[in-house]
Structure 1
Amino acid sequence: MRKRRDLTDYKSARELVQVTDPYYQKPLYRRPGFDGVVNFEEIDAKLADFLTERREKTGMTKGDFAALIGLSRMVYGRYELNISRLTVSRLVHLSELLGFQPLEMIHACAPHLFGKTSQEANDRAELIRLVSDLPHESIRNLLGIVSQLTPSDGHQAHTKAKSEEEHQTTVETEPALNSKT
């Protein structure tokens, strides 16, 4: 029988805490949100609210939308009433029909995954939304800029910028030195 690894460092690095979610009735590990650990039932309720809000924005009734998704009104209504749980494949289908990015729905129920503070999480989600609407050429240009700013490359980018700045200063002062001689 294989021995279980010590996961203390893993849990610590990801700021995981042990909780007992009422849905599972056994200990599991979660990362706390801005107001502590939100249980799965609360997450599901936020997903249902998001889905209802998005459908209502289209002006469609539950019955109209259920026909688009290929379900009866009663079966679809179970998602909005938080009776049935969404699968990832259903989430993808709903995002296709309602025109939202799946990350928007995740942000609605778990904003702590997008930043250390509520403001940071909201800003990051808004940036993701804005970038998703850009034309491809703008995205390519933005990729070049953002890749210079990423934390893993931050030191390299800073060093490169400083080197370029020093080189530019040298180039600017050399003609001045030459004109005095």
Structure 2
Amino acid sequence: MGTEGIPTVRNLSDYINSRELVETTDPDFQRPLYRQEGFDGIVSFGEIDAKLSAFLLDERAKTGLTQSDFATLAGLARVVYSRYELNISRLTVSRMIHLSELLGFLPMQMIHAAAPHLYGKDPQEADDRVELFRLIHDLPHDTIRSLIGIVGQLTPSDVLEARQKAEAEADAQAEAERQRLNRKAARASRRGRPPGRPPGRKSSTTETPTDE
């Protein structure tokens, strides 16, 4: 039997580097594990769970429903449901999907609330990307198909070219601003000099020695 179709075994160190993973520890794990760093370092799973619970509580509160009424929709006793909002019980993926059906949020929004680093290199990029997804989600299907065609024409090289162009324009604007400030400082310096010959400039007349 040939090796065609068998996936290539990757070097673990190379994979760790390619995913920008770092070794860390977590109270919930007995052994070291690897994670991606967030915007403020590595966030523990306990902190992530707390943020998920806070998001759930906020979304449920927006509906105006009491815990008891909402627990009925979720098929749970109020005490059981309250454990999710109090960060006592952990949310499973299937439970998160069910809650998103009931509350109308996108699962991506819940994940973004707990782990925004998964959606961008900085908080602003992460917020913008999730907001874009939310806006697209509300568009009619015909519009979405049109957007797919437009975005599909943006090949990686086009995206890179656009980014390089934007960076070049930003650098040019920054350089122009530096030059403007330098000229302004030079004018201010000249205004502060006493009247007379500019410093460092030799006289155009040559002194002739006289006999005493």
Match of 1:78 in 2: 83
Aligned equivalents of 1:107 and 1:56: distance in 2?
19
Deviations 1:111-136 (A, max 9, x none): 00000011100100100110000000
Aligned equivalents of 1:141 and 1:6: distance in 2?
41
**Structure 2 gaps, min length 5:** 1-8, 163-212
List aligned pairs for 1:14-93, cutoff 5 A: 14-93=19-98
Higher relative contact order (CA 8 A, sep 6+): 1
Aligned equivalents of 2:13 and 2:49: distance in 1?
29
Deviation at 1:26?
A: 1.5
Supply the AA of the counterpart residue of 2:158: G
Deviations 1:19-71 (A, max 9, x none): 11111132000000000000000000000000000000000111010000000
Match of 1:165 in 2: none
Change (3 A) 1:26 1:144: same
List aligned pairs for 1:136-147, cutoff 5 A: 136-147=141-152
Aligned equivalents of 2:127 and 2:33: distance in 1?
27
SS of residue paired to 2:37: coil
Match of 1:9 in 2: 14
Change (3 A) 1:57 1:126: same
**Structure 1 gaps, min length 5:** 159-181
CA RMSD of aligned residues (A): 1.9
More helix by percentage:
1
Deviations 1:86-118 (A, max 9, x none): 111100000000000100000000000000011
TM-score (norm 1): 0.81
Supply the AA of the counterpart residue of 1:35: D
Supply the AA of the counterpart residue of 2:76: L
SS of residue paired to 2:42: coil
Aligned equivalents of 1:15 and 1:96: distance in 2?
34
Between 1:21-30 and 1:70-79, the stretch displaced more is 21-30
Change (3 A) 1:150 1:90: farther
Aligned equivalents of 1:149 and 1:112: distance in 2?
24
Deviations 1:127-163 (A, max 9, x none): 0110000000000000011112252x637x99xxxxx
Supply the AA of the counterpart residue of 2:59: R
Identity %: 65
Match of 2:101 in 1: 96
TM-score (norm 2): 0.69
> Radius of gyration: which is bigger?
2
Asked if 1:118 corresponds to 2:110, the answer is no
Paired residue for 1:108, among 102, 113, 129? 113
